[in-house]
Structure 1
Amino acid sequence: MTHTSMTAVRAGLFAAALLLLAGATPTAHADTPPESGNWLVLGVSHGETPAAADGGTMLRCDPPGGGHPHADQACADLTAADGRITALPAEDALCPMIYAPVTAHAQGMWRDRPVDYTETFPNTCVLRARTGALFALDGA
């Protein structure tokens, strides 16, 4: 029986994201290494642990895009928080007191600094209230 640690899985996902980004880098930025810039691979999973098999959604912010349904707003929010997800402004929301945990995960680069963020929220409403458009990956 083979045991794969979450660290190994995350490292593999990070490497895959770098390869994906390297293949999708526009020629105008050919002189910039693919690991630089402002980009994140984002995922939300039900439960208290991030889903290892989920590839996630790419968010690029130079210019906004990469498959994220709210890239413009997510990039604006991250820029205002200097790329610190924990510093995103919380919105006022009335969320139900139902425990249906969701775990948000982000990995990538922001202003040439590595980003590795994982946090579990009591439910999707609280996730959206605390992170705004960043983890609104379903288009709603």
Structure 2
Amino acid sequence: MSKFTARFAARWAAFAFAAAIAVVAVAPASASAYAGPGPVRGAFILTVSAGEKPYQGKPVVLICPPNAATSHPNPVQACAAIAKAGGDFDRLPIDPAVLCPFIYDPVTATADGRWGKKAVHWTKTFGNSCLLYAETNPVF
């Protein structure tokens, strides 16, 4: 088994474990603060990697609405942003107030999971971490 295949299998095993915990959890930790529209639920494994190779960074689990299985540092706002984008990471709102330098120091973000009934497998390489922040905050 290659390093990539082993890493991919390990990530999905972690995702399955997190999903099982999400089902067992009785109540969301911040359900009253969740501002997402409707009953859409989602679960993602998110990574940010230095360079252009995906899946090299430490994975973070995001469950929407947030519960005890979520390891994301800002789950309520991240879930609200994903809900506003309809689960499409390419439609996350861009912050026009952020000014980024023209320095090429690539970072690659990935999101794997589900939004409602739709499977999500998203990967994008940004020119630098500032651009990642401007285009995906508060999710990444």
**Aligning the two structures, in what range does the TM-score lie when normalised by the shorter sequence?**
0.7 to 0.9
What residue number does 2:60 align with? 57
**Cα distance in structure 2, aligned partners of 1:71 and 1:28:** 18
1:16 to 5, 14, 17: 14
* 1:20-99 to 2 correspondences below 5 Å: 20-28=18-26, 37-52=41-56, 54-63=57-66, 66-92=70-96, 93-99=98-104
Give the deviation of 1:25 after TM superposition: 2.9
Provide the aligned C-alpha RMSD in A. Answer: 2.4
Question: What do the CA deviations read for 1:108-139 (whole angstroms, capped 9, x no partner)?
Answer: 1100211111111000100011111000xxxx
Q: Any idea what SS the aligned residue of 2:114 has?
A: strand
> Are 1:129 and 2:127 counterparts?
no
For residue 45 of structure 1, what is the amino acid of its counterpart?
Answer: S
* Aligned positions, number: 126
Any conservation in 1 of the 2:82–2:92 contact (CA below 8 Å)? yes
Q: Any idea what SS the aligned residue of 2:103 has?
A: coil
**Cα distance in structure 2, aligned partners of 1:126 and 1:62:** 27
Q: TM-score scaled to structure 2, two decimals?
A: 0.78
Give the deviation of 1:73 after TM superposition: 0.9
Q: Structure 1: any 5+ residue segments left out of the alignment?
A: 30-35, 136-140
Identity of aligned residues (%): 38
Any conservation in 2 of the 1:14–1:108 contact (CA below 8 Å)? no
